């Protein structure tokens, strides 16, 4: 009798197990369908902004109810203009759900990932706009131009969109005899100037312009412009240097003297016109940079537009900047055409310290502004390169005529090293005194003679074990015995109160009774020029005149300990040292 009972019990258990399997299978299938449907709905929500066919408001307030509360949406650093959380919207994400199968572990964590993306919609601040277009007056961002002009038909204040911008950094002024590309304007009331004037720096595609143009001077507190004739077109070049022809962009400094009734006021901006009643296509902010409490500093270093996108000069740049700091330079003004990412990192680092001022630069007109093409153009068109360089050099001068006693024009492979003193300040005290003894005429510039420290001159002597090999200037202490000819390839300390226009090697023109340079004796200081080879003009005589006769010159070692410490510290903070792996 027990046998049939056991058989019945076994059959009953088997039926229950079979029923349970059917139920589990059905529930699992339904769960997959629901999970797949939710994936599709979430996908539609993120991509198209609708849920079950209905449009939804996708923001931080609604995201919590949709399982999106853990998204870490990074916003810009706190500013008063950053949008509040309730106004920040998710942007569409184009993820293909086929890439995330239902059982994928990636899929299970997909909605809890922190995304480091700034999706905030913020308004540009006045400061942001001014930095983007630094040669425009702030009046445009403050919206205070309504009703400005001589009257409704004469000399109206140009609206923002009447300004003709060129390549992001220039303003265009078409005339009956050529086109100006204007870079900046400056207020000049130096003692040696005839009377207060506005200087306008730019380039013109004409030589010897025969033009009658006027400045419309715009002052704070009045809606009407003050007219002043352009009194001078100062050519910042020498005809004999070449490229003196129409069609080639030539550098000029234009002058408009401020009328005597307004001599005590500084114009806010200036517009150039051919006829006084014209509405201009330019409006340049007039720069009038004054030092706090009138405290003038000693040395501003000016560097032409950096075109080193193709090569990483970051390590050399750090050593060069730290050497300038130790010599007593107060600030270094550089212009960025195109630079390598590591070089940009270095410049940003020193900007934050306050030691570097960096200005974005472009080439005006139809010259190329594509990184690789710009480099090729400037390399193959040397004459055009030199003409373009004169704009940042003279911009640096006029931005600093009140803030620094001297401007020093250098390339990043050059440094003026004193021989008997440790700083530029002490050197200049000696030079000013000696120059006055030699000739009582006031000196406008102090010129340091050029000498080559070529790579090959050091390589045949080996390198120094107590100096890091990445310290190029400290390692290269063998130089040519012969200097280049007096005046050739020299670099100067220029008196900001005397010079009027500058070439990279000497002043073109000066205020007062002309330019008078003092040539620094090589026993006092010289220009150390670090290169692979001599410049092109000296290639034929480089071997016989310079490479064949070398001497050891360790004057820069005066700064060795401090320079190694400061350079290495900066490189470490920049993250340029490779981390060594630790093998257990």
DSSP sequence for 552-564? E--GGGGGHHHHH
| Cβ-contact 331, 300 below 8 angstroms | yes
| Cβ-contact 255, 230 below 8 angstroms | yes
> Any idea what the Cα angle at residue 521 is, between residues 515 and 527, rounded to 5°?
85
| Cβ-contact 234, 509 below 8 angstroms | yes
Question: 106 pLDDT band (50/70/90 cuts)?
Answer: low
Please state, for a pLDDT cut of 70, what percent of the chain lies above it: 81
| Cβ-contact 205, 244 below 8 angstroms | no
CA pair distance 30, 36, nearest whole angstrom: 10
| Cβ-contact 211, 228 below 8 angstroms | no
CA 419 to centroid of chain Cα atoms: 33
- Give the pLDDT confidence score for residue 27 in this predicted structure: 62
CA pair distance 536, 280, nearest whole angstrom: 44
| Cβ-contact 446, 425 below 8 angstroms | no
Average pLDDT over residues 75-98: 40
Its pTM surpasses 0.95: no
Strand 517-519 with 445-448, pairing: parallel
Judged against a pLDDT cut of 80, whether residue 345 lies above it is answered with yes
Residue 259 has φ and ψ, to the nearest 5°, of -55, 145
CA pair distance 455, 459, nearest whole angstrom: 6
CA pair distance 199, 178, nearest whole angstrom: 19
Give pLDDT tens digits for 479-504. 999 999 998 999 999 999 999 999 99
- The candidate with the shortest Cα–Cα distance to 313, out of 413, 389, 386, 388, is 413
Question: For the ranges 17-26, 322-331, 421-430, 551-560, which has the lowest average pLDDT?
Answer: 17-26
Judged against a pLDDT cut of 70, whether residue 473 lies above it is answered with yes
Calculate Rg over the CA atoms of the chain.
34
Domains of the chain (ranges; CATH) run 36-122 (no CATH), 128-287 (no CATH), 292-573 (3.90.550)
How distant, in Å, are the alpha carbons of 140, 154, 487, 509 from that of 198? Answer: 21, 22, 32, 17
- Region of residue 512 (phi > 0: left; psi between -120 and 50: alpha; otherwise: beta): left
List % helix, strand, coil for the chain (3-state, nearest 5). Answer: 35, 25, 40
| Cβ-contact 471, 319 below 8 angstroms | yes
- Give the pLDDT confidence score for residue 58 in this predicted structure: 36
Give pLDDT tens digits for 267-288. 999 999 999 999 999 999 999 9
């Amino acid at each position: 009798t027990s046998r049939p009972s056991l058989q019945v019990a076994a059959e009953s258990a088997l039926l229950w197990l079979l029923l349970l399997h059917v139920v589990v299978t059905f529930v699992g299938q339904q769960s997959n369908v629901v999970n797949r449907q939710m994936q599709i709905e979430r996908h539609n929500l993120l991509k198209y902004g609708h849920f079950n066919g209905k449009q939804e408001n996708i923001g931080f307030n609604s995201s919590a109810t949709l399982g999106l509360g853990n998204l870490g949406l990074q916003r810009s650093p706190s500013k008063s203009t950053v949008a509040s959380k309730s106004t920040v919207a998710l942007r569409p994400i184009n993820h293909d759900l086929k890439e995330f199968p239902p059982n994928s572990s990636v899929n299970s964590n997909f909605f809890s990932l922190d995304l480091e993306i700034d999706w905030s919609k913020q308004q540009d601040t006045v400061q942001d706009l001014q930095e983007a277009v630094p040669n425009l007056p702030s009046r445009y961002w403050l919206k205070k131009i309504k009703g400005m002009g001589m009257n409704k038909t004469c000399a109206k204040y140009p609206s923002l969109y009447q300004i003709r911008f060129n390549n992001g950094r220039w303003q265009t002024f078409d005339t009956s005899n050529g086109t100006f590309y204007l870079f900046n304007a400056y207020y000049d009331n130096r003692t040696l100037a005839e009377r207060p004037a506005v200087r306008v720096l730019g380039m013109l595609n004409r030589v010897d312009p025969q033009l009658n143009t006027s400045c419309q001077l715009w002052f704070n507190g009045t809606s009407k412009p003050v007219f002043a004739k352009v009194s001078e077109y100062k050519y910042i070049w020498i005809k004999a240097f070449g490229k003196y022809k129409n069609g080639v962009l030539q550098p000029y400094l234009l002058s408009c003297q401020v009328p005597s009734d307004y001599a005590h006021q500084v114009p806010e901006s200036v517009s150039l016109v051919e006829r006084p009643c014209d509405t201009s296509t330019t409006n340049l902010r007039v720069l009038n940079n004054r030092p706090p409490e009138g405290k003038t500093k000693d040395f501003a270093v000016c560097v032409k537009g950096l075109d080193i996108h193709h090569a990483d000069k970051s390590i050399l740049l750090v050593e060069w900047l730290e050497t300038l700091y130790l010599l007593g330079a107060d600030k270094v003004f550089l212009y960025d055409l195109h630079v390598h990412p590591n070089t940009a990192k270095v410049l940003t680092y020193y900007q934050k310290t306050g030691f570097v001022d960096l200005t974005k630069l472009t080439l005006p007109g139809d010259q190329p502004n594509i990184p690789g093409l710009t480099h090729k153009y400037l390399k193959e068109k040397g004459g055009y390169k030199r003409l373009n360089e004169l704009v940042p050099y003279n911009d640096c001068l006029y931005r600093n005529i009140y803030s620094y006693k001297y401007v020093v024009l250098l390339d990043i492979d050059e440094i003026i090293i004193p021989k008997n003193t440790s700083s530029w300040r002490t050197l200049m005290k000696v030079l000013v005194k000696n120059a006055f003894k030699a000739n009582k005429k006031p000196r406008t510039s102090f010129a340091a003679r050029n000498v080559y420290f070529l790579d090959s001159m050091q390589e045949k002597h080996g390198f120094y074990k107590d100096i890091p090999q990445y310290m190029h200037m400290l390692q290269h202490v063998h130089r040519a015995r012969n200097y280049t000819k007096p005046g050739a390839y020299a670099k100067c300390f220029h008196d900001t109160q005397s010079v009027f226009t500058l070439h990279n090697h000497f002043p073109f023109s000066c205020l007062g009774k002309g330019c008078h340079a003092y040539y620094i004796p090589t026993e006092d200081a010289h220009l150390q020029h670090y290169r692979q080879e001599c410049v092109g003009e000296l290639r034929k005589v480089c071997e016989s005149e310079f490479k064949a006769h070398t001497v050891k010159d360790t004057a820069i070692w005066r700064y060795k300990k401090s320079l190694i410490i400061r350079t290495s510290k900066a490189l470490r903070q920049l993250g340029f040292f490779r981390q060594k792996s630790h093998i257990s």
